[in-house]
Structure 1
Amino acid sequence: MSNSVLLGLSGSLRREATNSKLMREAARLFAPAEFVEGDLNLPLFDADDEERDGIPVVVQALADQIAAADAIVISTPEYNKGPSGVLKNALDWVSRTSGNPWKNKPLAVMSATAGRAGGERAQMILRGFMVPFQPRLIAGPELHLADSSNQFDEAGHLLSDRYAATLQQLIDNLRAEVELTQHTEKN
């Protein structure tokens, strides 16, 4: 697994976003692996712009990161009962690149929000968004981090043993899927 590449995508652009913290905590638990953070600060998708200018370089770079990754983690906030527009915009743009970089990629999704449901609706909707891309979506356990601004210590580690155990199991399941995928590709 030390040669694995883990790509992390946070649905929030905020510098101190708890979804970015959760994504980085997942990467720490997944180690050893090369961890790459994808940049979702993309132009808004506009088919007229695409027709005139083609796929933006930053979008193609993200698609290439997805294609190169052995596994992906996505952490989404919940805005107005759904995933962030930033995340949806990135998914829409990547869908316009050639091929399907998501196909058969082991993928774990999680959510962190200020609310008490921890982004449950956003995560459910995100799972639906991913269906057309055909990743190897890890079924669970689902991690819905509630009251997220109070859930991390100064080092960025989860404070709650319950949340930490859930994240560890999700990452263990992701790692097992990567190993299965690598074994299948060798045979």
Structure 2
Amino acid sequence: MTKKIITFGASSSTNSINKQFAVYTASQFENAITEILDLNDYEMPIFSLDKELKNGIPELAQSFYNKLGTADLIVISLAEHNGAYSTAFKNIFDWTSRINSKFFQEKQTLILSTSPGPRGGLTVLEIAKNRFPFQGAVIKGSFSLPSFNDNFNSSEGITNEKLKSDLLEIIQSIEL
């Protein structure tokens, strides 16, 4: 039976390296169909209780929540902005958590990060590893790809054989 993966880069950049990495990683799973989400399709007013009281929860938050609910596996690659989530992702996170605090809906989740630098977004990855389970994510693995421009290209994916092998080992450990 074919399983469904929902994947996205947690960034609103049109050339997001995290989206590239998330899509690549999702494509490494066998017998799965992948739906790619773009955070730009879920742009909403900045979350505040006042806005929620006045206008309710935006339809886009419900749509994002519903999409996550269709997944057998969620693959997210987190952009690191000043040591934390990107504002685009954090805003979706905040609105969607108003629908259900466990908005990942107990779905298997693979969390990733990458950046042009040698730490590969490790700070935001650690935040997510500690936070996402409270939001209903069942973390099945995590992986940071350092120095994206040196270790990844669009035609081959991960070019560093050790890093590629490490990621594939995580992927193979996840049962879909």
Distance 1:151 1:17 in 2: 15
- Report the 3-state secondary structure (helix = DSSP H, G, I; strand = E; otherwise coil) of the residue aligned with 1:30: coil
Aligned partner of 1:183 in structure 2 is: none
What letter matches 2:56 in structure 1? G
Q: Deviations over 1:67-92 (max 9, x none)?
A: 11111011012221222222222211
Q: CA deviation at 1:120?
A: 1.0
Q: 71, 74, 77: which is aligned to 1:72? A: 74
Identity of aligned residues (%): 24
Runs of 4+ in 1 over 6 A off after TM superposition: none
- Report the 3-state secondary structure (helix = DSSP H, G, I; strand = E; otherwise coil) of the residue aligned with 2:157: coil
Matches within 5 A, 1:11-160: 11-41=10-40, 42-43=43-44, 44-98=46-100, 100-138=102-140, 140=141, 142-155=142-155, 157-160=157-160
Distance 2:149 2:15 in 1: 9
Root-mean-square deviation (Å): 1.8
Q: CA deviation at 1:98?
A: 4.4
Distance 2:59 2:30 in 1: 29
Q: CA deviation at 1:32?
A: 2.5
TM-score, normalised to structure 1's length?
Answer: 0.84
1:21 and 1:156 in contact (8 A); partners too: no
Distance 1:100 1:77 in 2: 21
1:64 and 1:101 in contact (8 A); partners too: no
Distance 2:156 2:62 in 1: 30
Aligned residues: 173
Q: Deviations over 1:17-52 (max 9, x none)?
A: 111111011111013322112232322212222222
What letter matches 1:7 in structure 2? I
Distance 1:37 1:73 in 2: 10
Q: CA deviation at 1:9?
A: 2.3
What 5-or-longer segments of structure 2 have no aligned partner?
none
What 5-or-longer segments of structure 1 have no aligned partner?
179-187
